[in-house]
């Protein structure tokens, strides 16, 4: 088992390794006085892993309530979130009890938002079961649901008390879901660590999965430790997200988050090179990674459609929006655009 500590407004451990689902009870019991929890999962992860996690918790004396909602981004909405809150209330969870988010990023974001808001905030533990959730969404405390107007438009910053990442769970992931995590991993290399990017291009991710997850978590922990509430450096983690979220929305969430981010990074890098924000060669680095991992670099939507979807992105503030571009592989910066600038950026991206 490897451990990374995140030092944000609270400090917490991220445990990474095989066989950790069955150690969940032991790891959690050592760090809490509470004895009741709700395990929140989805309809695909529940049948695979919930029994094992519940048993591990019960074996060390926890009373466990289990709630599963229908899997998928289209269910990351107010209705599903409301049902989680009602479940917690019906089962009389108190402020000293806690949630366990068992699943991918959709489960983590929604259970985390429920934990942030139920009785004005209770503790929660992230147990990511996708490569994307392990490498990105389970760490850093961003929780959210989607609204009709766009992705993640209601949410809160609420750090988990612990992250337990059992990398054995990735064995049941469909290849396409695994590659969603590869996209966020490539993003971390492109914005923060050229040597990591090169390892991804030359090495074997699956053969060294624990180390790859650990490096992702270290990069994220470093950024979140410095800028938990996204006033500065954390914005760089949104590389590929302004146009990526627009692609997700235009597709009615048929395009998954990781695939949309991969395409968003390519589109942003093309626009950035054409408009002189990034040097030549940065687009090529993104295209090469997307090609190697079978991720998309284009999108079927016209500039006008993408622009309309991008204007409801929550990274917009006042009359402007910060888009992330590469200075070189391993280094990124933000560029502040007004709405006309965003339109020009979107047109140059295609
Ligand atoms: P997901 O949670 O929808 O999981 C993808 C699919 O895989 C689902 O059908 C799920 O049921 C299934 N699944 C999960 N684990 C499995 C396993 N071990 N075996 C078999 N099937 C499994 O998607 P995701 O890619 O994990 O997460 C995407 C979400 O994360 C998006 O909503 C995105 O906005 C969010 N996100 C949040 C942050 C953050 O910082 N909070 C960062 C990145 C992404
Ligand atoms: N995935 C973006 C962030 O956590 O800030």
pLDDT value at position 16? 98
Which residues make Cβ contacts (< 8 Å) with residue 42, sequence separation at least 6?
68, 69, 70, 71, 72, 75, 103, 104, 106, 107
Is 244 close to ligand 2, i.e. is its CB under 6 Å away?
Answer: no
Q: Identify which ligand lies nearest to the alpha carbon of 183.
A: 1
Give the number of the atom of ligand 2 that is nearest the alpha carbon of residue 220. Answer: 4
* 309 — pLDDT class (breaks 50, 70, 90): very high
Q: Assess whether pLDDT exceeds 70 at residue 213.
A: yes
Give the Cβ contact number of residue 27 at 10 Å. 17
* pLDDT, tens digit, 9 for 90 and up, residues 125-144: 999 999 999 999 999 999 99
Which residues make Cβ contacts (< 8 Å) with residue 222, sequence separation at least 6?
192
pLDDT value at position 312? 76
φ, ψ (nearest 5 deg) of residue 227: -150, 70
Q: Residues 133-157: what's their mean pLDDT?
A: 96
Buried b (16+ CB within 10 A) or exposed e, 156-183: ebbbbbbbbbbbebbeebeeebbbbbbb
Six-digit token string for 101 = 């988010």
Q: Residues 146-159: what's their mean pLDDT?
A: 94
- Choose one of 14, 70, 103 to mutate for the ligand 1 pocket test, by most ligand atoms within 8 angstroms of C-beta: 103
- Centroid of ligand 2 to alpha carbon of 220 (angstroms): 8
Q: Assess whether pLDDT exceeds 70 at residue 194.
A: yes
Which residues make Cβ contacts (< 8 Å) with residue 35, sequence separation at least 6?
61, 62, 63
Q: Whose CA is nearest to atom 2 of ligand 2?
A: 237
- Choose one of 157, 219, 237, 248 to mutate for the ligand 2 pocket test, by most ligand atoms within 8 angstroms of C-beta: 237
- Centroid of ligand 1 to alpha carbon of 133 (angstroms): 6
Nearest to 101 by CA among 146, 134, 62: 134
Q: Assess whether pLDDT exceeds 90 at residue 315.
A: no
- Choose one of 136, 144, 226 to mutate for the ligand 2 pocket test, by most ligand atoms within 8 angstroms of C-beta: 136
Query: pTM for this structure?
Result: 0.97
Give the number of the atom of ligand 1 that is nearest the alpha carbon of residue 180. Answer: 25
Q: Whose CA is nearest to atom 43 of ligand 1?
A: 137
State the chain's mean pLDDT as an integer: 96
Identify the helix (H) or strand (E) that includes residue 326: strand 320-328
* 311 — pLDDT class (breaks 50, 70, 90): confident
Q: Assess whether pLDDT exceeds 90 at residue 317.
A: no
- Centroid of ligand 2 to alpha carbon of 189 (angstroms): 14
* 87 — pLDDT class (breaks 50, 70, 90): very high
Give the number of the atom of ligand 1 that is nearest the alpha carbon of residue 151. Answer: 34
Is 142 close to ligand 2, i.e. is its CB under 6 Å away?
Answer: yes
Give the number of the atom of ligand 1 that is nearest the alpha carbon of residue 76. Answer: 32
- Centroid of ligand 1 to alpha carbon of 287 (angstroms): 24
pLDDT value at position 314? 65
- Centroid of ligand 2 to alpha carbon of 187 (angstroms): 11
Give the number of the atom of ligand 2 that is nearest the alpha carbon of residue 223. Answer: 5
* pLDDT, tens digit, 9 for 90 and up, residues 236-285: 999 999 999 999 999 999 999 999 999 999 999 999 999 999 999 999 99
* pLDDT, tens digit, 9 for 90 and up, residues 327-342: 999 999 999 999 999 9
Q: Residues 95-113: what's their mean pLDDT?
A: 98
Instruction: Judge contact between 109 and 76, C-beta under 8 A.
Output: yes
* pLDDT, tens digit, 9 for 90 and up, residues 228-249: 999 999 999 999 999 999 999 9
Buried b (16+ CB within 10 A) or exposed e, 285-297: bbbebbeebebbb
């Amino acid at each position: 088992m490897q451990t990374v500590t995140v030092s944000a407004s609270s400090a917490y451990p991220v445990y990474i390794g095989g066989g950790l689902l069955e150690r969940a009870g032991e790891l959690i019991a050592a760090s809490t006085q509470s004895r009741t929890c709700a395990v929140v999962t989805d309809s695909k992860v529940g049948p695979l892993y919930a029994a094992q996690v519940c048993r591990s918790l019960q074996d060390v004396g926890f009373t466990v309530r289990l709630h599963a909602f229908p899997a998928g981004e289209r269910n990351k909405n107010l209705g599903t979130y409301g049902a989680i809150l009602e479940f917690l209330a019906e089962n009389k969870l108190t402020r000293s009890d806690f949630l366990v988010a068992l699943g991918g990023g959709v489960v983590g974001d929604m259970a985390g938002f429920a934990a942030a808001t139920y009785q004005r905030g209770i503790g929660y533990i992230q147990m990511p079961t996708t490569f994307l959730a392990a490498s990105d969404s389970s760490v850093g405390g961003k929780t959210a649901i989607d609204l009709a107007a766009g992705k993640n438009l209601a949410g809160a910053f609420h750090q988990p008390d612990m992250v337990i990442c059992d990398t054995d769970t990735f064995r049941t992931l469909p290849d396409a879901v695994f590659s969603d995590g590869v996209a966020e991993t490539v993003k971390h290399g492109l914005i923060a660590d050229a040597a990591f990017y090169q390892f991804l291009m030359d090495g074997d991710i699956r053969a060294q999965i624990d180390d790859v997850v650990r490096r992702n978590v270290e990069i994220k922990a470093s950024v979140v430790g410095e800028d938990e509430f996204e006033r500065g450096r954390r914005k760089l983690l949104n590389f590929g997200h302004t146009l990526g979220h627009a692609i997700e929305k235009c597709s009615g969430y048929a395009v998954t988050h990781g695939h949309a981010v991969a395409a968003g990074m390519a589109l942003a890098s093309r626009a950035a090179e054409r408009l002189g924000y990034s040097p030549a060669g940065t687009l090529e680095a993104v295209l090469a990674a997307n090609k190697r991992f079978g991720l998309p670099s284009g999108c079927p939507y016209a500039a006008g459609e993408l622009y309309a979807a991008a204007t409801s992105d929550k990274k917009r503030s006042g009359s402007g929006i910060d888009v992330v571009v590469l200075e070189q592989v391993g280094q990124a910066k933000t560029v502040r655009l007004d709405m006309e600038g965003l339109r020009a950026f979107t047109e140059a991206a295609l």
